[in-house]
Amino acid sequence: MKNKKIVLFIIIALSTPTLIACTKYSKENKNFASEIEQSQQVKDNLDKVDNKDKTTLVDNKKENENIQEDGTTNTVVKIEGIRKEFLEKLDNIQKELDALPEKKDSDAGVTNAMKNYYGKSYDMYDQALNEIYSLLKKELSPEIMKNLQTEQVKWIEQKEAAADKEASQYKGGTFEFVAYKVSLYESTKKRCYELVREYMMD
């Protein structure tokens, strides 16, 4: 009986490390399986992010069609397909002005008729110039538009200076205002055609 207890004790003593090892191995296997699962989740998440980034890149490429692969931008120098249309608009303005009742008296040198006629003429071409400029601002690339803005500011200063110079020749006379408006009209009309020819094409 005593021998049986000793044998049993020896068996228990020998089995304990094995049981501990098995338990430890089982825990390690569970931990390893958990690590694999976590690793797979991380990979899946990275793939999702990757795909999302790829989709974003494609969308950004569509939105920024002017951006090339080398990082430079396509320079929109001229707007296509509208030059003829705008030249016709400008020509029609002059036809409309020529049909005004005060045109005949203006050509005859009647001061009041000239004031009215050239006042309207300037206003109509100035409106056309604003329309052209707004379109260019919307369609041309930023680099080209920046240069045009600088150029336009200089042109406005020159236009005003030229009109003042013309008017000063008749300072105090009835023709002073007429000369001022005639100069503004001629400069603005010329500028309209310049912008259309330089920045638009068919």
Return the domain boundaries, the chain.
Answer: 1-63, 79-201
- 0.75 surpassed by pTM: no
pLDDT digits (tens, 9 = 90+) for 106-151: 999 999 999 999 999 999 999 999 999 999 999 999 999 999 999 9
Residues 42 and 45: their CA atoms lie apart, in Å, by 5
Topology adopted by domain 79-201: Substrate Binding Domain Of Dnak; Chain:A; Domain 2 (1.20.1270)
What is the sign of the dihedral through the CA atoms of 155, 156, 158 and 162? positive
pLDDT digits (tens, 9 = 90+) for 85-106: 999 999 999 999 999 999 999 9
Contact of 169 with 104, CB cutoff 8 Å: no
Contact of 93 with 162, CB cutoff 8 Å: no
pLDDT, residue 202, reads: 85
Give me the long-range contacts of 69-73 (CB less than 8 A, separation at least 24).
73/141, 73/142, 73/143
